[in-house]
Structure 1
Amino acid sequence: MFGNSNFLGFVLLRDAEWDQEAFFSRLKEKWDIEPKNLENKDDEKIFVFNAGDYLVSLAYYPTPVPNGEAEQNAVFNFLWPDAQQEVAKHTAQIVVSVCNGMSVMERAKTFVKVCDSCIDDNTIGIYTNGTVYAPAFYRQNADMLKADALPLLDFVWLGLANDDGKLRGYTMGMENFKKLEMEFLNYSGSPHEFLSFMLAIVSYIVEGDVILDDGETIGFSEDQKFKITLSDGIEFNDRKTLKIDCKL
């Protein structure tokens, strides 16, 4: 159902230029990743190398992401009000992918480290997990890896929507970890509390490699027993999602 869980993202660039030597320098200096078996395709800026057990590829294209796709998905970043206008300014991209290796978690960490190393003054955003991250936000979360913490918000995007006066939330990126995407319904607290609650659920599932099943309940106290239902997605009309009803 979930394929090979290859991590894929697009580093959006303001100007059609990429200093690959600076990228490899940042990758080594910040993350101590020394590329192995490095291949460079002819004169093009396409690089393939091994980072430990993981196969990394980067492909620079002096063109924007086609069909306005990045701009359309930038709207889902509710933390970045000007995302669509800023993303529309990108003229080039670096396509980043990380695959192979036995550990999905280590593959995710490697992906974040590689994307973080792509960020410089020419970076407008990181398009992954169905939205576009602001560079500073992505880097701030990536830096958590330096403290042996997980950059969960780089791993999985948490979306918010208003639904008849109640908050509705959803994940984008759980499928990379071979989990179903989740939708959270009928939350009546503050947006900040809601995000913290969703992040706690994501942390529990991703860090513990937990599988939630239809008909179960979940919560973090005796008073919390939220029902889990598997059904057609609300935010995602092309797949089934796990719904967590947050109404107490």
Structure 2
Amino acid sequence: MGFFDKFKKKKENETPQKESNLLLSMPMFNSEESYSLNHIIDDLQNYWKLNVSEVSGDDSVTTFKIENETVAVAIMPVPVPESDLEPIFGFNYLWKNAAEEVPNHTNHAIVSVLASGTNQLERFKILTKVNASILRTSNNAIGIYQGTQTLLLPKNLYLDFADFLNQDMLPLQLWIYIGIINEENHSSIYTYGMKEFGKTEIEILKSPIKGGDLYEFLLPVLSYIIESDVTLKNGETIGFTAEQKIKITQSKGIYLEGETLKFEM
């Protein structure tokens, strides 16, 4: 990452932003037939090569352990409430037909990775692998809803991004919403979900750079922050080369509540 090496990891005496104690996602299905517990466990063990233990329950409600993390899966015989989904149809660009396809689902599951002291990154990896195993082994699964990050993700795209984990890459698109605002002469971009990793959300405002290019720039930055547990600070600069020095400031968010880090680009 070049110049990113100058950033220090969070010190022990620093107070991190509060991380969520519970990770949640909601796989959605378009018929009464949802998932098979046996198929999920088999996929976790054989596709993801995970150690799954202490399996308890059945297809309706189950708990099990993965790498000492407790996972719970329960089927809900109703769709996700429309009031939760409708407000985010318009800006979930990763599922372009969500407004037509999602309202047709008939039931959903709740996947939970219960509270623990394990590194948040490892817990998100487990959540992703469980979601992917459910999607891969259910013909009737259509995608995943993650309300905490306002993410709606279609099945095939989710599976493609989840496979990044087999390549030692982070599927950030499944964990963090990246909002893109393209206007006539400039673009803005922001993150929503960095707080789940104890990090400050990021905004790039009114940049002459196209939104797609800002997106491509931001992804490796987010990956580095999360994977290396880097804390960016007000007044520092970042860049991929010695010549590139992008100033960081911290102030009240424009597209988000609370304070955000602004990259001046």
- Matched AA of 2:209: G
Corresponding residue for residue 110 of structure 1: 126
1:175 matches 2:195: yes
Q: Is the 8 A contact 1:217 1:228 kept in 2?
A: yes
Equivalent residue number for residue 224 of structure 1: 244
Alpha carbons 1:78, 1:160 under 8 Å: kept: no
Q: Distance in 1 between matches of 2:250 and 2:47?
A: 41
Measure the CA separation in 2 of the matches of 1:115 and 1:50. 15
Greater relative contact order structure (CA < 8 Å, 6+ sep): 2
State yes or no: 1:85 paired with 2:106: no
The one-letter code sitting in structure 1 at the alignment partner of 2:49 is: D
Bigger Cα displacement from structure 2, 95-104 vs 105-114: 95-104
Conserved 8 A contact 1:144-1:150: yes
Q: Aligned partners of 1:240, 1:175: CA distance in 2, in Å?
A: 11
Q: Which residue of 2 aligns with 1:121?
A: 139
- CA distance in 1 between partners of 2:202 and 2:264 (Å): 11
Q: In the alignment, is the contact (CA less than 8 A) between 2:18 and 2:198 conserved in 1?
A: yes
Task: Give the counterpart letter for 2:216 in structure 1.
Answer: S
- From the superposition, tell whether residues 141 and 213 of structure 1 become closer, same or farther in structure 2 (CA, over 3 Å): same
Does the CA-based 8 Å contact 2:248-2:264 persist in structure 1? yes
Aligned-pair identity in percent equals: 34
Aligned amino acid, residue 215 of structure 2: L
Deviation, 1:113, is: 0.4
Matched, 1:16 2:35: no
TM-score (norm: length of structure 1):
0.88
> Which residue number corresponds to residue 242 of structure 1?
261
Cα offsets for 1:30-54 (capped at 9, x unmatched): 11234322232xx771212111121
SS in 1 for 2:126: helix
SS at the partner of 1:88?
Answer: helix
Unmatched 5+ stretches in structure 1: none
SS at 2:190 equivalent: strand
Query: 1:48–1:57: 8 Å Cα contact kept in structure 2?
Result: yes
Superposition map of 1:22-41 within 5 A: 22-40=39-57
Tell me, in whole angstroms, the C-alpha distance in 2 between the residues paired with 1:5 and 1:219: 33
Check the 8 A contact 1:113/1:142 in 2, yes or no: yes
Q: Distance in 2 between matches of 1:58 and 1:233?
A: 35
Pick closer, same or farther for the CA change 1:197–1:73 going to 2, 3 Å: same
Deviations 1:176-229 (A, max 9, x none): 211112112223233332211010210121111100112222222344322222
Listed as ranges, the gaps of 5+ residues in structure 2 are 1-16
Shift of 1:101: 4.3
CA contact (8 A) 1:76 1:131 kept: no
Q: Does 1:214 align with 2:200?
A: no
1:141 and 2:158 matched: no
Name the amino acid aligned to 1:123: A
RMSD of aligned alpha carbons: 2.1
